[in-house]
Amino acid sequence: MSLSNQTRHWQALDAAHHVHPFSDTAALNKEGVRVITRADGVYLWDSEGKKIIDGMSGLWCVQVGYGNPELAEAGYEALKTLPYYNHFFKTSNPYTIELAAKLATLLPAGHRHVLFANSGSEANDSALKLIRYYWNLKGRPEKKIHLSRDYAYHGVTMAAASLSGLTPMHPQWDLPLPGFEKVPTPYWYGAKDAGYGNIDADAFGLLIAGKLEEKIRELGADHVASFSAEPIQGAGGLIFPPATYWHEVQRICARYDVLLHVDEVITGFGRTGEWFGSHTYRIAPDIMAMAKGLSSGYQPISAISLGERMADTLLNANEELVHGYTYSGHPVACAVALKNLEVIEKQKLVPRVKTEIGPYLQRRLRETFADHPIVGEVRGVGLLTAIELVRDRKERRFFPDPGNIGTLCRNYCFNDGLICRAIRDTMVLAPPLIVSEAEVEEIVTKLKSAVDKTAKELKKA
């Protein structure tokens, strides 16, 4: 296919000067990037005029869809009125104040205080610092180990990457840092492949939660500061915990006095059909991180909220909290985030995900792939869904060399104008919360066609 001069020009400049995240630079430069030039609703357009339906909300973040004029206007208004000021010099501003107060009305019970940062990684990094400070203030400085799970994704700073359990994230940087330990994930579909046999999901949830207890006892509860987890694991393969899991995890954290740090970066802001995954799974976090959907990705902003126990201690320390970023609570980002929350409420997107469009997407995927020879499972909550591509659906066996088949299928999706994510051989969808039924049909049709082509390719091999 011949590309326009404009596209080739941009590709050449990108290759010459721009280093991409999570990419093999040399391979990408050889292939040439796709240049995205505009977006509206659930659609993107590239520099060749190709229209693409975005089944991933960018990177799981564009809750209200692209091109929302209210968010754009809120940002422009703030840019004109107060493009920047900080909170270091006994100062604040209306946008930041109102966003913090609004969040306090939406967060899980007891969470009335927030700190702002600019990304999910920073929010988690900050959360770990606050956890360490909490135990220092409590006179228990030996409680320092941070537990988290295999397949977790918590970001890329030194601490957030250490906390992450996706092992390819570590060797290039000599991570994890000391003091970070992992426990298994409640990935029921993979249980058989991982050697747990034919265990039922609820029993598996308890068993895996029990591994957390074992780990705490092995390390000594006196040394364990916190357990960090996403309510539903996102980038690790969309892993939904069995119904028994979270209750048991909370019992264990309470019993051993381990702080519960919940990472809501993907699960926040209506994605699950509630404001937060913590509502969906009845989790009471001690500290919570949020980003992405907070501004629908229109501005880089994240937040950390404190539960009562941490707030009482940290906010009454009677000394300076030696932490903060130049852009903490940036007025423009806060103005856009505040408007984003207003739009989510006005358009009733959270109940829509819970009772209308979420169940619709789940049902259509289940109907479409019920008997498909290479689809082992369709799973989902709200507008988070995954289908497992497998070698043997009856025996729940994966393909050898996980990732090859998923990538093949994802490439068929891309070529047909659908963005979806392949994590190993799990195909993941997380469309904007405004997606219509007709657009869901388009996504499902394109995904079905890609899975069919993948199956056909496999037959040939």
Q: Cα dist. 187→96, 153, 200, 267 in Å?
A: 38, 14, 12, 17
Instruction: Count CA atoms within 13 Å of residue 374 on its CB side.
Output: 21
Query: Residue written as tokens 């423009």?
Result: 332
Written in H, E and C, the secondary structure of the chain is CCCCHHHHHHHHHHHHHCCCCCCCHHHHHHHCCCCEEEEEECEEEECCCCEEEECCHHHHCCCCCECCHHHHHHHHHHHHHCCCCCCCCCCCCHHHHHHHHHHHHHCCCCCCEEEEECCHHHHHHHHHHHHHHHHHHCCCCCCCEEEEECCCCCCCCHHHHHHCCCHHHCHHHCCCCCCEEEECCCCHHHCCCCCCCCCCHHHHHHHHHHHHHHHHHHHCHHHEEEEEECCCECCCCCECCCCCHHHHHHHHHHHCCCEEEEECCCCCCCCCCCCCHHHHCCCCCCEEEECHHHCCCCCCCEEEEECHHHHHHHCCCCCCCCCCCCCCCCHHHHHHHHHHHHHHHHCCHHHHHHHCHHHHHHHHHHHHHCCCCCEEEEEEECCEEEEEECCECCCCECCCCCCHHHHHHHHHHHHCCEECEEECCEEEECCCCCCCHHHHHHHHHHHHHHHHHHHHHHHHC
Q: Is the Cβ of residue 33 or residue 221 nearer to ligand PXG in the bound state?
A: 33
Q: Is the Cβ of residue 121 or residue 299 nearer to ligand PXG in the bound state?
A: 121
Contact between 121 and ligand PXG (CB under 6 A)?
yes
Q: Is the Cβ of residue 103 or residue 207 nearer to ligand PXG in the bound state?
A: 103
Q: Is the Cβ of residue 252 or residue 422 nearer to ligand PXG in the bound state?
A: 422
Determine the interface stretch with ligand PXG among 89-97, 120-128, 174-182, 403-411 (rule: CB under 6 A). Answer: 120-128
Determine the interface stretch with ligand PXG among 97-105, 117-125, 306-314, 370-378 (rule: CB under 6 A). Answer: 117-125
Contact between 119 and ligand PXG (CB under 6 A)?
yes
Instruction: Count CA atoms within 13 Å of residue 305 on its CB side.
Output: 30
Minimum distance from residue 423 beta carbon to ligand PXG (Å): 7
Minimum distance from residue 199 beta carbon to ligand PXG (Å): 26
Contact between 266 and ligand PXG (CB under 6 A)?
yes
Contact string 169-208 vs ligand PXG (x = CB under 6 A): ----------------------------------------
Determine the interface stretch with ligand PXG among 41-49, 148-156, 182-190, 328-336 (rule: CB under 6 A). Answer: 148-156
Contact between 334 and ligand PXG (CB under 6 A)?
no
Contact between 236 and ligand PXG (CB under 6 A)?
no
Determine the interface stretch with ligand PXG among 77-85, 228-236, 331-339, 392-400 (rule: CB under 6 A). Answer: 228-236
Q: Is the Cβ of residue 85 or residue 414 nearer to ligand PXG in the bound state?
A: 414
Contact between 128 and ligand PXG (CB under 6 A)?
no
Q: 175 near 158, Cβ under 8 Å?
A: yes
Determine the interface stretch with ligand PXG among 94-102, 118-126, 393-401, 411-419 (rule: CB under 6 A). Answer: 118-126
Contact between 125 and ligand PXG (CB under 6 A)?
no
Determine the interface stretch with ligand PXG among 95-103, 116-124, 325-333, 354-362 (rule: CB under 6 A). Answer: 116-124
Contact between 230 and ligand PXG (CB under 6 A)?
yes
Contact between 234 and ligand PXG (CB under 6 A)?
yes
Contact between 263 and ligand PXG (CB under 6 A)?
yes
Minimum distance from residue 264 beta carbon to ligand PXG (Å): 8
Contact string 34-73 vs ligand PXG (x = CB under 6 A): -------------------------x--------------
Residue nearest to ligand PXG (CB): 120
Contact between 155 and ligand PXG (CB under 6 A)?
yes
Residue numbers of the site for ligand PXG (CB under 6 A)? 59, 119-121, 124, 153-155, 230, 234-235, 263, 265-266, 291, 421
